[in-house]
Amino acid sequence: MLSLTPDTAAPEIVVEELMTGGGAVRLTGLFTADEVAEARAIIMRHSEADAAKVTHFQGAAEADGTLALQRRVWNLLAKGEVFSRMAAHSVLMAILRRFLGSEFIMGSIAANRILPGGPGQEPHIDYPYWDFHTPQTHPMGLNASFPMNAQVSVILDPFTEESGATAYVPGSQKELRYPTEDDRFFERCARMTGDPGDAVIFFGAAWHCAMPNRSDHDRNAVLIQYLPKWVKPMEDMPAALPADFVAAASDDMCQLLGLNYPYPEVLDVAEGGNTEGRA
Ligand SMILES: O=C(O)CCC(=O)C(=O)O
Ligand SMILES: [Fe+2]
């Protein structure tokens, strides 16, 4: 995997690798040890109880009774200011503006904690392609010639092969397809390894999945989904956040929450006058 630092992560280089290279780039040392410790403590606290939350690509774990060893913490923006800092980091914003368009939005921010002994996932691709196992529900001809997703994993515990670092097949993002058994995913995969404070950015059309945690420590990451401005986001974040969070949101955060792009809108009651067109 291409590995860059905040200083060398020029947007042109990163987006080229996401589209035509391996599909994933490691950004080392993006967050401080204090930020990592703060984020990790909040996630551990909120996932102490194994109260079942909605999760994805875990059909096998649900069937064999290990689902409680993989825990999600949703609505992170409401749980600590550190998560807003992570989502709107200037290095990520610059890369994402180039990759998804300058007015891109955030579709989800959640933690994935895999406890020791916890399960991996089914190899998959991410929202809005995540149900591409039924491609006929999407427009004809939809392909990966332009991106409708970028994923950022902020690594909060050592991501090693043993601890379940995300697996992916380099280059698989170029042909938009949900992986099948015949793709021999587990024989071909590389791993998104990294240290706490690193982030991995990848094009979610690349086949990937969380892997089982065979280490003796928890494996925590913050998973952030970014989308072009016109893709319906996965989470209704403004609805889940306190009104004062939304009222105090920075310009970048308003953009990430989709508040700068008002559609759908009840145009029948909108202020009269022309609102679109070059002139
Ligand atoms: O936690 C991971 O390693 C990846 C999770 C993932 O790909 C997902 O939930 O869509
Ligand atoms: Fe995924």
- pLDDT one-digit tens code per residue, 24-51: 999 999 999 999 999 999 999 999 986 7
277: in domain: no
Around ligand 1, the residues with Cβ closer than 6 Å are 56, 112, 126, 166, 208-210, 221, 223
Whether the model clears a pTM of 0.95, i.e. scores above it, the answer is yes
pLDDT band per the 50, 70, 90 thresholds, residue 205 = very high
Residues lining ligand 2 (ion), CB within 5 A? 126
225: β partners: 108, 151
35 is in which domain, residue-wise? 2-269
In-domain check, residue 278: no
Separation of CA 279 and ligand 1 centre (Å) = 44
Q: For the chain, how many structural domains are there in total?
A: 1
Chain segment 158-200, per-residue pLDDT in tens:
999 999 999 999 999 999 999 999 999 999 999 999 999 999 9
Q: Is residue 142 part of a domain?
A: yes
**Segments of 66-193 assigned E as strands:** 70-73, 105-114, 150-155, 167-168, 190-191
On whether residue 279 sits in a domain, the answer given is: no
Cis peptide before 123 (omega within 30 of 0): no
Question: Tens of pLDDT along 122-135?
Answer: 999 999 999 999 99
Residue 234 lies in a domain: yes
User: In a mutational test of the pocket of ligand 1, which residue from 115, 191, 208 has the highest number of ligand atoms less than 8 Å from its CB?
Assistant: 208
Report the residue among 57, 108, 121 best suited for mutation to probe ligand 1: largest number of ligand atoms under 8 A from its CB. Answer: 121
Distances from the Cα of 251 to the Cα of 103, 254, 267, angstroms:
11, 5, 25
What CATH number has the domain bearing residue 217? Answer: 2.60.120.620
